[in-house]
Amino acid sequence: MGFSEQVSSRTYRDRVTDIADFIRALGITSPVWIVAQDWGGAIGMGYAVSHPGHVAGMVLSNTGIAIPQNRHAPLLIRLAASSGLHRLVTRESSLFVRGTPFLPGLGLSGAQRNALVFPYRRRATRRGVADFVADAPLTSRHRSSHDIATVADQLSDLNIPVRLVWGSKDPVFNDDFAHDLLHRFTDAALHRIASAGHLAVLETSIAPIVEAAIEEHNEQPHTLFISPHRDDPATLWSLIDKWDSADDIAITDAAADDVVTRPEFACRVATYANAMHERGVSQGDRIAILVSPSIDLIAVVYACWRIGAVAVIADRGLGLRGLRGAIRASRVAHVVGPARALFAARILKWAPGASFIPLSLVRRSAAIQKVEQVSAPEPSPDDLAAVLFTSGATGPAKGVRYTHRQLYAQRDALLQTYGITPADKFVAAFAPFALYGPALGIATGLADMDVTAPGTLTAEALDDACKRVGATMVFASPAALANVVRTTKGTLHSLSKVRLLMSAGAPVPIATLREIAVLCPDAELHTPYGMTEVLPVADVSLADLERIGTGAGVCVGVSVHNCEVQIDPDTSEVLVSAPWMSAGYDSLWLTEHNARPVLTMSNETRTWHRTGDVGHLDAFGNLWIEGRSVHVLDTADGPVTPVPLEIAVEALPNIVRAAAVGVGPSGAQQIVIVVETSQRTDGPASIDLARAVRSVVVPHVAAVWTTKNLPVDIRHNSKIDRTKVAMQMSSILSGNKE
């Protein structure tokens, strides 16, 4: 291959022997790490099986050792290896070598493509290409079929770490091959790159992945910090059985004008569980739930948990593209939802190979027979329960894995932090939080609103939801509360009876909290701090904020009971650890490795979660958030965090919100402030506005710009996409865009 000497044809067995001879000739006696892709992966696995003591670990990318179950060999390989086309595309012409760099993915540069093709410009130098394609066994009669099958059978005997780096757009070795290998090794983990293709090793930098794999292998074994052993089942669905038999309200849905009592909800969960189990949903199966926020959504999730299925929850707030990516990445075995959602999932190929379960069939089963007992076996507390997706506000949405025990510990933390009792009743104006109601043992109300646009929640809708359930507690995003304030026309009688109102998902302006306090004068206003990976982390009330005053960033209060918070001294990143910390990321091994350091603090070694937020702790233990680590401005005078600058600007008259971004090369970025004003204008700020902004921002501001709308995340309508703003301003200020 390449510029190597042209030799006679080599079989798969010959190539494995060649690697052994090569390593021996170099005098390497210590175990090696094998990094391999495509046919090189099969050769590397062959060497590892035949020389297990000489291999420390492997990093494999877009390769395979066998055809996955219920699959055919890749079409492109079958075409290239077919007798009629093989020599034409691989040796007689350069079609094969020129076409490979264009396989779907991020794409290669022209220089990369030319470099890959360069050694094979002449027919005589393409013999190696023709030989390796011909050596891929497509039938059991092939000369190398037995050798490769033997290697495949022996992979499970290898006691080495194997890390898979996979470009999921690969039309040759797609995700099926990744998961086939994932289950062949005893110590394997996958890092899936959704935007990369067959040549992921060239489209992205593989060096950090190899370094991380070796670093992890050299670390001392450790265990995750988990909650103490408990005698109860530690599963959320089991809490439904502990409800008393009174016909108290379980859930109300204002949009559907529907309500179920506790016995009715428990019966619905059991009936749905049996119906899905009869449709083939088994313990450990992943099931995508495409049901809109409703009583049915909550019932389906708890039914999944009852039969041990893994609920994959990616709400519509991710947008259609984000929703598709989340479901495909999760490799679900089943999809449940209304007919329209299932039709879209089929047509758009969101879940190839999955079975589709219409919600109408599940409902029909419930109508025909109402049961209270479930025939399926119960899951254990440490089984995987859910894959929950992040908002994608700072990059592609990531799947976060939770076990039953971790979700139960999270429920305990919420109970203790907010003093929740059976007498409380809860309105969730943010869809994912509605799932907590039954686990907390309290009645839950769903507001009539567009879940993909929290800012559409009106004062009337929120008050109506509170009335229907007799709410004592409310949870809503900052954007939702801001619209409640804007749309209030009179006294909100039901909201005024609330004792606790919580808002999270993004920094909550204190002005909004003060205005909400007027609408519910008897309520304590709290802003929990946390993220999909760990929630709650800290909490602060409006009263605390009034007492603490302003500072460098947003104060999110002190850490909640049993949650540890530390600040990385080198990066100022916030680190947290708690019993309800998630199990990690789904199919994102490198992301998980980087986000979950094992550190010894106060003579205790435990796993921590890097939140991605930067901030500091004050003398009283209050945590202050100054922005996301990826949004820190890298100026010539050092790093500058964006949130303190934005808070200062947002205090100016007529400023709705602001974004501080860096424009220019790293290490010399210039500070640009982009603001939404009450005048809703686009373009350079007026002289007076620019002067006012510069008067409240200490670092030098290169430019001040106005925009009608700053881009925000879909889920919360609150988190500013500073990366997008920075790209826009870079283009504008460089003269590429009006």
CATH of 632-733, one of 3.30.300.30, 3.90.1010.10, 1.20.960.40, 1.10.760.10: 3.30.300.30
Q: In this model, does residue 215 exceed pLDDT 70?
A: yes
Question: Where are the chain's structural domains?
Answer: 12-218, 632-733
- What is the arithmetic mean of pLDDT over 400-411? 96
DSSP 3-state of 332: coil
Q: What is the pLDDT of residue 316?
A: 73
Q: What is the pLDDT of residue 244?
A: 61
Q: In this model, does residue 301 exceed pLDDT 60?
A: yes
Region of poorest pLDDT, from 28-42, 48-62, 242-256, 450-464: 242-256
Q: In this model, does residue 737 exceed pLDDT 70?
A: no
Torsional class of 546: left (φ above 0), alpha (ψ -120 to 50), beta (otherwise): alpha
Residue, of 401 and 605, whose pLDDT is higher = 401
Region of poorest pLDDT, from 232-241, 272-281, 443-452, 477-486: 232-241
CATH of 12-218, one of 3.40.50.920, 3.20.20.10, 3.40.50.1110, 3.40.50.1820: 3.40.50.1820
pLDDT tens by residue, 184-198: 999 999 999 999 999
Looking at residue 280, its amino acid is G
pLDDT tens by residue, 557-589: 999 999 999 999 999 999 999 999 999 999 999
Closest to 45 in 3D by CA, of 29, 61, 30 = 61
Q: Among positive and negative, which fits the CA dihedral 426, 427, 429, 431?
A: positive
Q: What is the pLDDT of residue 71?
A: 76
Give the pTM: 0.90
Question: Would you place residue 223 in the very low, low, confident or very high pLDDT band (cuts 50, 70, 90)?
Answer: very low
Q: What is the pLDDT of residue 369?
A: 65
How far CA 277 is from CA of 235, 264, 300, 307, 626, in Å, comes to 18, 20, 12, 7, 47
Q: What is the pLDDT of residue 344?
A: 87
% of the chain exceeding 70 in pLDDT? 95
Q: In this model, does residue 462 exceed pLDDT 70?
A: yes
Mean pLDDT, the chain, integer? 90
Residue, of 612 and 84, whose pLDDT is higher = 612
Residue, of 136 and 629, whose pLDDT is higher = 629
Q: What is the pLDDT of residue 177?
A: 95
Q: In this model, does residue 630 exceed pLDDT 60?
A: yes
Q: In this model, does residue 322 exceed pLDDT 60?
A: yes
Q: What is the pLDDT of residue 7?
A: 85
Question: Would you place residue 421 in the very low, low, confident or very high pLDDT band (cuts 50, 70, 90)?
Answer: very high
Question: Would you place residue 284 in the very low, low, confident or very high pLDDT band (cuts 50, 70, 90)?
Answer: very high
Q: In this model, does residue 239 exceed pLDDT 60?
A: yes
Region of poorest pLDDT, from 276-280, 506-510, 552-556, 677-681: 506-510
CB 699 within 8 A of CB 640: yes
β-sheet with 701-706: strand ranges across: 655-663, 670-677, 701-706, 683-684
Q: In this model, does residue 230 exceed pLDDT 60?
A: no
Residue, of 84 and 263, whose pLDDT is higher = 263
Question: Would you place residue 224 in the very low, low, confident or very high pLDDT band (cuts 50, 70, 90)?
Answer: very low
- What is the arithmetic mean of pLDDT over 446-469? 91
CB 644 within 8 A of CB 553: yes
Q: What is the pLDDT of residue 504?
A: 87
Q: In whole angstroms, what is the distance from residue 590 CA to residue 577 CA?
A: 19
Region of poorest pLDDT, from 251-260, 265-274, 636-645, 717-726: 717-726
